[in-house]
């Protein structure tokens, strides 16, 4: 099967190419990206040169992607909505790694993303690319909206609790920490090494754009606070929720069992007793979960760790594409973390 990548020179594009290099059924035939047009991908990322010695990044050209079995679009927010409508008509499957088709309500985009949506007619059609929760929708999809990294971690942590009616949906708190690669390849004053090293900071208080996406997935009101951690890759979220009115008081053991039962048979979700660390997921498509119940305060606590570029980004996009294309869901996706 033929695959194309639009936005190939960004971090998500590079991670996707790393994964596709090990995929037995998908062959990359086109790389596109305006800022790096004319460059070999091995020049931009020398580590990818051996896998793609002859592929040049070209400017966007829809005709070159026509006939692809899957086109992955890894463009900044607001950009993919202008190219996806045409690609949906010419490719078998389009997977958007950006945010442009994640929210169901077009009116939410000006509030959270600062733009009017250019293709609102596609919002209802886009399947949400979180296979563990929306696999059935993916099986017939021609357009997939791949979730955000924080959203993936928080949603997998909280969805079993909200679905069971165990927690109060009116006041869920999510504290998240991300590595600097979540900000993308282009450095800013707040994300380069000198600003982040030996520091830990919160950002976008009360206004992070992943907030409505988390709420949409889990069906609860969320207070989300993201933090920037001095590491390259990884997401760790700590989620707090009070018990729902009338809910039976759980135990830590019953919460862990609920998570384990919810994700039984899922290849990439691992539920354990110990608090997870981002290092345990480095370079993999895995999510690590655990939970606690604090009877003293009446709070449920759930933690999730993942690699923001893999399960939180390109790995998840590839996993969802595998489902939509009728392939083995695990193809091309690493499950063993880098150590040390």
Q: Enumerate domains of the chain plus CATH numbers.
A: 2-125 (3.40.50.720), 149-307 (3.30.360.10)
Question: Is 149 one of the annotated active-site residues of the chain?
Answer: yes
- Which residue has 């053991």 as its token pair? 253
What the block records as the tokens of 65 is 């992607």
Ramachandran assignment for 241, one of left (phi > 0), alpha (psi -120 to 50 degrees), beta (any other): beta
Active-site annotation holder among 17, 30, 149, 237 = 149
What does the pLDDT read at residue 185?
A: 72
Between strands 222-228 and 201-202, the pairing is antiparallel
pLDDT string in tens for the chain (340-residue length): 999 999 999 999 999 999 999 999 999 999 999 888 989 999 999 999 999 998 999 999 999 999 999 999 999 989 999 999 999 999 999 999 999 999 999 999 999 999 999 999 999 999 999 999 999 999 989 999 999 999 999 999 999 999 999 999 998 999 999 998 887 776 676 777 777 788 889 998 999 999 999 999 999 999 999 999 999 999 999 999 999 999 999 999 999 999 999 999 999 999 999 999 999 999 999 999 999 999 999 999 999 999 999 999 999 999 999 999 999 999 999 999 999 8
Q: What is the pTM of this model?
A: 0.95
164-182 burial by CB neighbour count: b if 16+ within 10 A, else e?
A: eebbbbeebebbbbbbbbb
Instruction: For residue 314, give the DSSP letter.
Output: I
Question: Cα–chain-centroid distance for residue 24?
Answer: 23
Angle between helices 252-262 and 149-163 (to 10 degrees): 110
- What's the N-to-C CA distance of the chain in angstroms? 35
Sheet with 222-228: list strands edge to edge. 201-202, 222-228, 172-178, 235-242, 299-306, 287-294, 269-271
What does the pLDDT read at residue 187?
A: 64
């Amino acid at each position: 099967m033929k695959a194309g990548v639009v936005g190939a020179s960004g971090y998500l594009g590079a991670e996707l190419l790393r994964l596709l290099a090990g995929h037995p059924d998908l062959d990359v035939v086109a790389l596109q990206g305006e800022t790096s047009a004319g460059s070999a991908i091995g020049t931009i990322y020398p580590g990818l040169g051996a896998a793609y010695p002859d592929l040049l990044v070209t400017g966007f050209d829809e005709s070159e992607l026509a006939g692809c079995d899957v086109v992955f679009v890894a463009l900044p927010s607001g950009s993919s909505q202008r190219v996806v409508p045409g690609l949906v008509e010419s490719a078998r499957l389009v997977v958007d790694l950006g945010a442009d088709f994640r929210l169901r309500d077009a009116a939410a985009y000006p509030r959270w993303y600062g733009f009017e949506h250019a293709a609102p007619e596609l919002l209802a059609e886009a399947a949400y690319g979180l296979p563990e929760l929306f696999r059935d929708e993916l099986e017939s999809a021609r357009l997939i909206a791949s979730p955000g990294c924080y959203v993936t971690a928080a949603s997998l942590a909280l969805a079993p609790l909200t679905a069971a009616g165990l927690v109060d949906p009116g006041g869920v708190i999510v504290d998240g920490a991300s590595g600097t690669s979540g900000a993308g390849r282009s450095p800013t004053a707040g994300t380069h090494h000198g600003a982040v090293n030996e520091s830990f900071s919160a950002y976008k208080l009360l206004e992070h754009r992943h907030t409505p996406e988390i709420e949409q997935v889990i069906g609860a009101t969320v207070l989300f606070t993201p933090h920037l951690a001095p590491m390259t890759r990884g997401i760790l979220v700590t989620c707090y929720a009070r018990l729902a009115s009338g809910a039976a008081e759980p135990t830590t053991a019953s919460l862990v069992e609920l998570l384990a039962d919810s994700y039984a048979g899922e290849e990439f979700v691992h539920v354990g007793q110990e608090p997870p660390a981002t290092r345990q997921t480095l370079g993999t498509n895995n999510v690590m979960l655990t939970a606690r119940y604090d009877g003293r305060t009446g709070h449920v606590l759930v933690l999730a760790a993942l690699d923001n570029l893999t399960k939180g980004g390109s790995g998840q996009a590839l996993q969802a594409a595998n489902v939509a294309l009728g392939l083995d869901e695990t193809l091309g996706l690493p499950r063993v973390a880098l150590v040390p």
